[in-house]
Amino acid sequence: MSERERILGVLGEAEVLGGIRWAYESAARRTREDYDEPTGHNATWVGINRWILLCDRLDRVFSCGRYATREGSSGTVGLDVLYATLTGEEQATFPHIPPGTVGRDNLVGSPGWSFGGVRWLLASAEFGGVDEINWSHRSQVKQRTAKQFDPDNDQFSILDVLVDDPGAAKLREALEHASKFDITTLVVTHTHDIETNDRELYLGLPSMEGKDNAWAWKENLLAAPPADGGRQKLPATEPDGPANVPDAPVRLRTPAEKAAPMSNVDAPRAAEDQ
């Protein structure tokens, strides 16, 4: 079994992957619903707002942050708190993940969550540009994340060839120390075209090794059917978009009013790497 398969198996069995997906879909839905171009909202607003809401939804699903249970409590936060501002469908599909399963695990100021020896951070991207992310232009913590050793990669490097060279040994040690984390750290990358409502959500191990791909591996979290939440079941409905989430009404400019096509770009680095 590869390390990728092991990680996806661990997170999938605990329904963590479904929790991440639910959180993203809820954040994307609310962002599109609130988007109003005449108010002054633009692609930057879209990226920042989705990022903020995604952090909030992840904390809700995993009972972290302001949704964490208190010592001596019944073990759950009231549904009125968890369900605040959520749609009926989001409430019905809210993943039932026992509190304490996933913990907040921030890394150098970058929001993170962890379970089963795996941590994941967040990174926004332009729709369709997930494979072209230049990690060297991201924060230092994201650069370090992209320098982690990939145990599934059996390709030799120049350092393997120079195995008897003292200088190569010192360089290898320095590189491993610079990129070493306490646990394996992955990145959840999210995009959203606000006009078409097309969405992307990936979990993967970023890499700065390849020239043509920004990932050692990545998994499409929107490919599998969404979880039903386990709380109550709603009648099945026809999918209403790429992510099977109902479109919310948005105000878009008419072709005559458009000065340039709108596309979702990365949230400013200050927000993306908080």
The predicted structure's pLDDT at residue 267: 45
The predicted structure's pLDDT at residue 78: 81
In terms of C-beta density within 10 A (0-12 exposed, 13-18 middle, 19 or more buried), how is residue 213 classed?
Answer: middle
The predicted structure's pLDDT at residue 266: 41
How do residues 201-227 score in pLDDT, each as one tens digit? Answer: 999 999 998 777 899 999 999 998 776
The predicted structure's pLDDT at residue 236: 37
CB within 8 Å of 87: residues ≥ 6 apart: 29, 246
CB within 8 Å of 262: residues ≥ 6 apart: 42, 43, 194, 195
Helix (H) or strand (E) holding 90: helix 88-92
Ranges of residues in the chain with a pLDDT under 70 are: 70-77, 154-179, 227-274
pTM for this entry = 0.77
The predicted structure's pLDDT at residue 225: 76
Quote the tokens at residue 138: 């991201």
How do residues 10-49 score in pLDDT, each as one tens digit? Answer: 999 999 999 999 999 999 999 999 999 999 999 999 999 9
The predicted structure's pLDDT at residue 200: 98
Q: Please state, in angstroms and rounded to a whole number, the distance separating the CA atoms of residues 157 and 186.
A: 23
Given its phi and psi angles, is residue 109 left (phi above 0), alpha (psi -120 to 50 degrees) or beta? left
Angle at 47 (CA atoms; ends 249, 189), nearest 5 degrees: 110
